[in-house]
Every structure is written in C-alpha cells, then in structure tokens.
Structure 1
C-alpha cells in the first residue's frame, strides 16, 4: 500500500511486430509474431509521502511523461476506498476539496517526450489522526480519433463506429501528521481468525476492521497452540494479500483506511495435523502489543495434501517430519538428519524406531538416537538419524524404511508405520 519516495512505475503498452523471415517456397512464407513492450507513461512518484503538523499547507508534484505518442489526459481529485485484499482503489463520490486542491486540474494534451507537472497543495486537517491518504486520478483518453463525417460516391453519409479506451491511473498522497495524538490502534476490531488452504498447504487468515475515521499502520502476529503451554509453533507475521509478493520488511506493515476491513494471511511453515488448536491473533503498533484475541480452529490434515511432502502419518496418531530420509557417505553428502515425532493422540505413546532394509534387516552404519522414547499427548520430540562410515554394505544404494512402532500406555495394541529411507554408500 505504501511506497518509498523513489517509487517509479513504468506503465506499459504492448504492440505486436510482424516480421516475415524468408520464403520457404514460392507458395509458402514463414511468419513469426513477436510481442514487445514499449513504455506508454512514466509517472513519478506513484505515491507521494509528505509530513507536517496540523494546519500546515504542503505542496506536491507528480511528473507525467509519455514516451511513444502524444496523450490526451484529464486530472482530478478522488477519494480512496480499500478492498479486503488491502488494495486501494479510487472513489469519485468521496472527494474532499477542502483539504486537497489541484493547481493544475482539467484536461491536457501532452506532447511526446515533453513532461507535464501535476501540482497541488494539501492542508493537514485539525483532527487527531496520525496520517491521511488522498487520491489523484489521471485519465488517459488515448489517441484522438477523427470524428468528421465521410460520404460514399453517391453522396450518402457513411455510418461509422469505434471504441474509445480510457485508462485510469490512481496516484496517492500519504500525509503523516507530526505530534498528532491519534486514535489508539486498540480501536481496531479483530473480526475472526481461521484456517485457510494455500496451494495445498495450511495457512491462517484474519479479518481486521477499522470502525473509526482514522487510518492506522500496524503489524499482525498469530500464534498457534495445541495447549496453553505449547510452544512448538513459531509465531507468524501476517501480510495483506496485496503485499504477498514483497520481499522486504515492508510486506509486514499493514495500513488500513477509515471505515475499512482488510484480510491478512500467511502460510503455516510447519506441519498441521488433525485436531483442535488455539489461534491467538495480536495487533502490534509502535513495537507494543495493543490487542489480542483467541479463536478455536479445527484442522483436518486431509485438507492439506501438499503436506505429504513434509509429514508422514505412521499410526497411533503419531506423525513424523520430514516425510523421508536420504543419507550419503559420498563427499559433500548429508550424513545426519533431524526428525521430529509428534504425538497427536490423547494418550502417552511408547515409541520404538529401527532402520531396516528391504529384507527387514538392519541397515549397516545407520543409527537412530534415541531409538526408544515415551511421548506425552500433544508433545513433539526431535531425534537424529546418522550414518557412520562402514564397508558392511551389500550394494552402493540401499533402500528401506525407518520402522516406527507406537503403543499407547496401558494398551496392548501396537501400531507400526514406516518412513522411506535411501542410503548411498561410498564404494
């Protein structure tokens, strides 16, 4: 939503260039269609960030330049509205001309390679808001068509038809108010918190509503827990969908306009198994937690098929991740892997592990530590699988399973599952 002062966006138009290559024969010619892009407009900046105190009058400028043709543009003020994705769109019915004035409004003909400057002033309102956002709309009416009448050989006026494409660009003024008290971000409402599916992986999302007439900047964090004392899941920093592709820290900064609702989301990087969880959503502003709300969520591992590459069910509500073991004695190969066992049942599980080849005998040089353990309900435990140098192998590559046997305390029933293993020996 926000952008640095140096933000420059090149708006492009596409043109297709047809070029004939060579005649294959007198009756056939090969033609190649090549798509190229040429700049249509350059507007600098797309977002103008200003700061001052209440009552200050600030000047602003936008530079508009067309590269490949003359342009017919119209400039005017617009209000702003926000989609749930966080995207900001214009609203021509919500213009506040008492705050922002354009010194160069109206419609213009811009010559190619001759920049046009959009100028204006903004008077910072006397309210308590810490920042405001305003919009400037630039309409590009395209190439001017000849609308004069034409006649046929008999003098009859010919009927003409055409389509005029109008392209609109929304520029933004963000004004930060120094010394403003501001409404507290505790006024924001955490509407809900729930699970989501993102490309087959588990994700979380939350709706944040702003019932006030002030805009806010904040961060949103989520903590998933199996129980009040569970710390196995890392806290997640959530993002607006419109910023999902950003790679800088700016992606985690949410900005919500007055009377708006936005959705924030993130992928859960750890396996999420079937069962009930608590999802604690926290609003942070100025480095402090301002508001919290918890939700109960129910997960079904079958809803997240892409998890199968990360996690494997081995029976008795016991899960292990990652979903396979690959070790190698070769130079540069991995000789040790960490696994995580999770007991998703309601009973303590006694677990035994053993690395076996396809014939059901132990794989030489391969050890599991610990090979026996007890795991309380809802708990996870890390273990390691390591490969030592040995000459006892029977083939350069050995395949097998990490056999995992689990048994509930006080129960005679044993359940066994396996984790695929591949071991490459140095022959």
Structure 2
C-alpha cells in the first residue's frame, strides 16, 4: 500500500460497534471482493470490499473475516483468514501480509491461512443460532454479477440450512454513515491531495492543452503524495463536454474561450475526496460565464448552510431546488411563468440542473447510508450544484465535501480555491 499505516484502534472500535448490534449467539462472515479479469492473463487492480476493510483494515484479496462474540472457544471470537504466500507469489506478486503484519494492521489476534477456513467454521458454526451474511445493499447498485458474497451465501445456506440467517447490511448502513475522528482525518488527507492536484492544474492549463494532459497532471500529484489513485474515473470536460454529466473520454482539446468542468478526487487509504470545479481555459471568465459561475456558487453556499444535524434528505433537496430556481430566473434561463406552470414531479429548474445536490462520502464515493434518516453529526456529504446550458456549450459545477458536527458543519475543502478571483489569480500568477 502507498498510504501510511492506519492506527488499528479504528478497526477494533468498528468491530465492537458492529458486534454490539448482533443478536445473541450470532456469527458473522465478511468476504473480500473478487479479483476481476482484465485480459487473458491480467486482473484489474484489486479494490477491497469496503465493509471488510471497515472492520479489519486488511487491504488484500482472498480475505475472510469471522466474528462470533459469543463463541464458546475464545480463540475464534475474532478470526482473520488470509491467502498464504509462497515463493512463487513472492517473486511474481510481491508483498502479502504475514500473520504478524495482519495482527498489527487489524488488531485481531487469531490469524489463519485461508485453507483453514472451512474446518474452523465447521467446528463452531453449529453452536451459533444466527449467521449474519453481507451483500451490497447500496441503493445505487443493481445486482447483475454473482460476486463472491452471493456465491458464498448459496454455499453456506445449502450446507447449513437450518440456521437463522440475518443481513449485515442494515447494521453497516447505520455504522458507516457516521465517521469517527480517524476516518475524518483520512478524508481530510484525501481532500488535501485533491487540493494540491487542482492548484497544480490551474498553473498548467492554457488554450490548446488536451483534457488527458490535465488528467495526467492530476494523477501525478495523487501518486506523488501516496494516494492510491483516483477515487473514481475523473471528468475533465471542456466546452460542450461539460453538459455530459458522466463524461470521461477526456480526449478533446481545450479551446480559448471555453470553460473546463473538473470532477475528480483522490483516494487515500480507501477513503475518498470528491471535488468539482469549473475554470476558464484562458484564465479569465467572460461576464456570462462569471454570472453563471456565481449563480452556482450562491446555490452551493446556501445548500451548505442547510446541511446541519436533523436535516431531512427530501426536504433539503426541495429547498435547494427553490434556491436554484431563483438563480435560473435571474440568468434568464427560465421564466416565472414556466415555474408557475411547472410539473411538480419535474420542476422547471431540472432542465438546467438535473441531478441531486448531495450524497454521503466515505470508503465508497457514494457511501453507504440511509437516505430516509435525518443527517447526523459525523456524516460527510458532498454539496455539488450545477447549471448546464447546452445551447451555450457551457456547464458549471462546484462541489465541496462537508462534515456535519453537533455545532454546525465544517467544509473539508475550505482551503481549495473556489471564488472567481482566486481561480483567475492563480491561473494568471
């Protein structure tokens, strides 16, 4: 791993919070993610299952975590199973956890090789009443691929059909939404790396540069500072490309007079930043570009003020929609008559601002959380309004990451240039 060692108090605490929510005499199992083939003899870069990482800190494929707090054999109350290395793996793949390293990373004492999993599980599972199994229950995910968790569920239910099976996901949804101090610091680190990459590209941009050249500058800074890489596929969208919400071809020339919409963030120790900015290719906004930019900025600041403990998701988005409506009227993009006659299911402002304003952020960029639970201290959310005007080949989106506390909120990206004057000064410095 490129990132610095994480204090295993984080993972020890997470396991305690999780097991405290289990029914009496329950056993829980978490699997690492699959390794997916990229070509005939290569896999895609491995990405750990976020729930397993949250509970163990182990960032390696073919890992299983077993938690059985009421196990009659104390040795098996917390057990980590790892892929055993050998001389061939050492030569071709390099580093794998030793048992001692896994103990240090996770805070778990009982470490075994993966080949011991079936025998150890069988020796204790019949003493448990409930078995908690994990699946991906993120609202944004639609199950299409029979991934490792799904395959394991089929196997264990056929082998032990009379146990009471439970879902871990509702517990993880509750826990992961509220970030601990250590998680907040890891997110701050990701935000700091993202800031430095943004300032770097502000000094690099000029007419004629290619979008992919900007992307190269970003990843250079991420890796240079020990980030794992991009938190998600970066968007470097110049001119009309900014009106494609998930544009990531990043293969066009940036032209004089256009605005570039950035949406990128660093991943550090599996925690993510998520930032959007919009900047002029030539270093100076036109009056129209500045007016649209400041309208989005106004919505962003207003939305940020609404992000406090107790705020309800749907109410929040409705209020942001009203603020955006006022700005779009001021820009001459919609009329008061259109607003008066709008379809409540698709308000007039949606023509130019069609996506949501916020999502939870954490180990997943769109982090696991309950959209029907009021926002609470410890939540980290994005604020990312945008105005997209295809007829003007102009798209503006601005996005920061906001931590909710009991005393209001904290902008984790407050030190990243945002105001028009800041952007122009750096680009022309």
Structure 2 length-normalised TM? 0.27
Q: Whose Rg is larger?
A: 1
Bigger fraction of residues in strand: 1
Asked which structure has the greater RCO (Cα within 8 Å, sep 6+), the reply is: 2
